[in-house]
Amino acid sequence: MSITINQPLDMHLHLRDKAMLKTVGPLSSASFSGAIIMPNLVPPVSTKEELIAYKSRIIEACGEDTFTPYMTLFFKPSYTKEFLKSVKDELTAIKLYPAGITTNSEGGVSGFDVNELRPTLDAMSELEIPLCIHGETNGFVMDREAEFVSIYEMLASNFPKLKIIMEHITTRESVEALDKFDNLYATITLHHLLITLDDVAGGMLQPHLFCKPIAKRPEDREALRRVALEGHPKVMFGSDSAPHPQHTKESCGCAAGVFTAPIALQVLAELFEGHSTIENLQAFVSNNAKAIYNHIKVPHKTVTLEKKPFIVPAKYGDVVPMYASETLAYSIVNIQG
Ligand code: DOR
Ligand code: ZN
């Protein structure tokens, strides 16, 4: 039994910088045609010069691989229409973080005052720049995303021409919001399709599964699986693969992030095959993203997987992946392009 995926895309990826970029960049560029690159470096990517320089560091780290980094800027309400016009051709989206909500997001938005945001969001609508949002309030950790849905709805109704991507959704409430507004879309990670809070903290604490948004309840995971496995046209795969050095995960004050880039396609194949929905995997990992981000050019690449054991390395550099040292059912057997 073999599965071939055309032009796999990861629509939410953290590649970091310097030595970490050199370690993790090639692990994505080997098997994906492209990825939306998150801007939460220190300092965040927020000027045209920083964005162009970061893109070239990524391309250099990925060597000869056929891979397009789709760049994003870190949202600031101070971005003017002139600035956005000048940078439009270099970026694919802008990423909005609420201030302090996750790794390196201190310079994000505090309070969602529509009047303060309007000039930038109007300009983005006009220039057709999608807005990716980390949708969590600073409320109780299990309720943060559900509480944010009213902000998504406020933005979607005030800016009906703006494409809004609810990043890494984890709840039933976010899934329900998808069908209420034409301009709301979502990415879903691998780990949120697989785990619940029980896997993180139900037994001994599993720091390598700790991430933001935190994994939720079984019924939330069911809602995510339903739309992912059916290939719902408004959802796309975004790994949120977020590498952290081992000592920052296995420590007091564990960093948030699950590193999944090198295992994502293998585990997705097993998940979709196990639910007899393998025919929808192509939509989830590529076609939906191409339709939603309709301006992107996607390089040609095909990845073939077979049911053949793959032992996940214990570490990639200094990063412990999800399922470290475990055996997966599917392996990548061929990559063309
Ligand atoms: O778990 C997470 N890690 N969630 C995020 O939103 C950011 C990411 C990171 O950059 O480490
Ligand atoms: Zn992320």
**pLDDT tens for the chain, residues 1 to 337:** 799 999 999 999 999 999 999 999 999 999 999 999 999 999 999 999 999 999 999 999 999 999 999 999 999 999 999 999 999 999 999 999 999 988 899 999 998 999 999 999 999 999 999 999 999 999 999 999 999 999 999 999 999 999 999 999 999 999 999 999 999 999 999 999 999 999 999 999 999 999 999 999 999 999 999 999 999 999 999 999 999 999 999 999 999 999 999 999 999 999 999 999 999 999 999 999 999 999 999 999 999 999 999 999 999 999 999 999 999 999 999 999 9
Q: How far out from the chain centre does Cα 286 lie?
A: 13
- The pTM is what? 0.98
How do residues 200-216 score in pLDDT, each as one tens digit? 999 999 999 999 999 99
The answer to whether 39 and 74 are in contact (CB under 8 A) is: yes
What CATH number is associated with residue 252? 3.20.20.140
240 is annotated as an active-site residue: yes
What is the number of the ligand 1 atom nearest to the C-alpha of 101? 6
For residue 192, which ligand has an atom nearest its CA?
1
Cα separation, 233 vs 80, in Å, equals 32
Q: What is the number of the ligand 1 atom nearest to the C-alpha of 167?
A: 6
For residue 210, the CA-to-ligand 1 centroid distance in Å is 10
Residue 162 has a pLDDT of 98
Number of structural domains found in the chain: 1
Cβ atoms of residues 122 and 101 within 8 Å: no
- Closest to 176 in 3D by CA, of 195, 149, 136: 149
**Main-chain dihedrals φ then ψ at residue 88, nearest 5 degrees:** -50, -45
| pLDDT value of residue 294 | 97
* Domain ranges, residue 71: 2-336
Catalytic residue among 10, 65, 220, 240: 240
Query: Where does ligand 1 bind, in terms of residues with CB under 6 Å?
Result: 14, 40, 102-103, 134, 211-212, 240, 242, 256-257
Q: Which ligand has the minimum distance to the alpha carbon of residue 319?
A: 1
pLDDT of 1:
79
Question: What is the b/e burial string over 64-95, where b = at least 16 CB atoms within 10 angstroms of the residue's CB?
Answer: ebbbbbbbbbbbeeebeeebbeebbeebbbbb
What is the distance between the alpha carbons of residues 195 and 75, in angstroms, rounded to a whole number?
Answer: 30
The ligand 1 atom nearest the CA atom of 40: 10
Q: Report the alpha-carbon distance of residue 261 to residue 15 in Å, rounded.
A: 10
Say which ligand is closest to the CA of 102. 1
104: left (phi over 0), alpha (psi -120 to 50) or beta: left
Q: How far is 252 from 210, CA to CA, in rounded Å?
A: 13
292 CA distance to ligand 1 middle (Å):
23
CA distances from 109 to 47, 95, 127, 138 (A): 17, 11, 21, 12
